[in-house]
Amino acid sequence: MEQKAERLFVFTIIFTFLIKTFLSITIPLTGDEAYFVLWGRHLDYGYYDHTPMIGWLMHLMLSAGNSQFLVRLPAIISSILVGTGIYFIVKPFDKTKACLLATLFLVSPINVLNVLISTDTPLLLFSFVSAGFLFYALKQKNYLHYCLSGGFLGLAFLSKYFAVLLGLSYLIYFIMAKKSKDRYIGFLILFLSVIPFAAVNLYWNYTHSWANIMFNLFNRAGNEHLSALKFLLFVLILLYFFTPPVLYYLFIKRKEIFLKLKTGEFAFFSAVFAVPLLILCILSFKKAVGVHWVLSFYPFLYIVLFLFLRELEIIKSIKFMVFFTLAHLVIAATVLSLPPKYFKNTKMYYEIILGEKPQAVLYNLKQYEKDFILMTPSYTDSAILSYYSGMYFPVFDAGSHHGRQDDFITNFKNFDEKDILVLKEHLPDKEKYGKYFKHYEVKQFEIDGAVFYTVLGYGFNFSNYRDIALKKIKEKYYPLPKYLPVKSDYFEEKYFQ
């Protein structure tokens, strides 16, 4: 049985890699992905929206090429590496079950469909590696493993702030578990190892108007209210993530769950899986929790399943999961194969055409490249066109609270008196655009029924743009609390001093 399970595991690694590769070159690049590519092209140690890891990762990929496959390669392999990590952690206890549990994870929809590059990509991998090293540190009383766990937790933090939940679960486990001198020293080493990574993010914010902190804590939050519906939606997300076969076996074994979670070999993984989910459950009453929020904690479930599932039950779960994932692939293939015309009467039709036919859009803009600076009012549109054209499309006007990395890249002072083309989905505000340019004209073109408006602005008036658009951006997105020390208020210094 062991050899069969091992062969199945190896086959699953190869097969899921091929499926994920096919999906990566088939699914059109999303606006968020193109946006992260821009981060890679403008390398920094911090960015407006998130901590910098995804930008560093994209910079590394772009050094090898610009294809969709290379851009998405980290997403293709990260979850496969996590599946392999599940095997190595469980292997010393039962090699056959290790192969089967890793296979169960690899054939799950969360692995097979995980091909889009995002901040969750490095977070998933580094969180898992950090927890793995801490598991070994607890078993072997090895201080180096504590240090490595802290280092990878720091890398996870530089991937996304959700790593804080993992660190908090470590702390709660330490408080609740048996104490010893070795553990006191080990956990101290772990958390000291995180400090250099946190310092990188802290210093970037200190020198950049605390933009990243302000965005994540205030600008993106909005005025959200308590809602039981949000909590119920999160519960549904959790049920989906557990998947039907796992839910079934956990239900029929519900009486033994808590005893085994507390005393079993993998009690630590129970903590790092359950604590973040409990925190997100509480948060979900106020905040709409996305599916991807759970992603980095999900693999720990498959290690914990070692405590509950017998070999035959895992095999049955694998068989069901294959068809469950296949159903997802059929749905995805059906949606992707639908002609854009099926969405013609929807609000997203413009974005669909831009995403699926960016080269056609760029062809219509090519005649203006020499005489105009090309822009759009949307970070999504600008990012997609920048990716496919190889030249940068700045974001014109206020935009949104997302995608404000352009505020670091673009200096509108340099465009004073120059001619600017703004590609828009809707007709421009005549009064506002009349103030931005000496004069302007509006033209349009169609691609499969989607109308694209081009505002040809002559003689850009920077002073008026600063007093109208940039002032609005400053007041809305860059308010600095008085209690925060700041080395550089870059937006104020660039435009208003």
Per-position pLDDT tens, the chain of length 497: 788 999 999 999 999 999 999 999 999 999 999 999 999 999 999 999 899 999 999 999 999 999 999 999 999 999 999 999 999 999 999 999 999 999 999 999 989 999 999 999 999 999 999 999 999 999 988 999 999 999 999 999 999 999 999 999 999 999 988 888 889 999 999 999 999 999 999 999 999 888 888 888 776 655 566 677 888 888 888 888 888 988 888 888 877 777 666 666 788 999 999 999 999 888 888 777 777 888 899 999 999 999 888 999 999 999 999 999 999 999 999 988 888 888 888 888 999 899 899 999 999 999 999 999 999 999 999 999 999 999 999 999 887 777 789 999 999 999 999 999 999 998 888 888 899 999 999 999 999 989 999 999 999 999 999 999 999 988 888 888 778 888 878 888 889 88
Cα 353 to Cα 340: distance, rounded to the nearest angstrom: 7
Distance CA 107, CA 180 (A): 40
CA 389 to CA 157: how far, in whole Å? Answer: 32
Structure tokens at 456: 């040809």
Q: CA–CA separation, 82 vs 299, rounded Å?
A: 7
Angle value at C-alpha 280, between 52 and 117, nearest 5 degrees = 35
CB 261 within 8 A of CB 301: no
Decide: 365 and 454 in contact? Cβ < 8 Å.
yes
Sign of the dihedral through C-alpha 189, 193, 196, 202: negative
Radius of gyration, alpha carbons of the chain = 25
What's the residue count for the chain?
A: 497
Is residue 23 within 8 Å of residue 114, measured between CB atoms? no
What whole-number distance in Å separates Cα of residue 46 and Cα of residue 488?
14
Half-sphere exposure of 43 (CA within 13 A, CB side): 8
The bridge status of strand 373-375 relative to strand 420-424 is: parallel
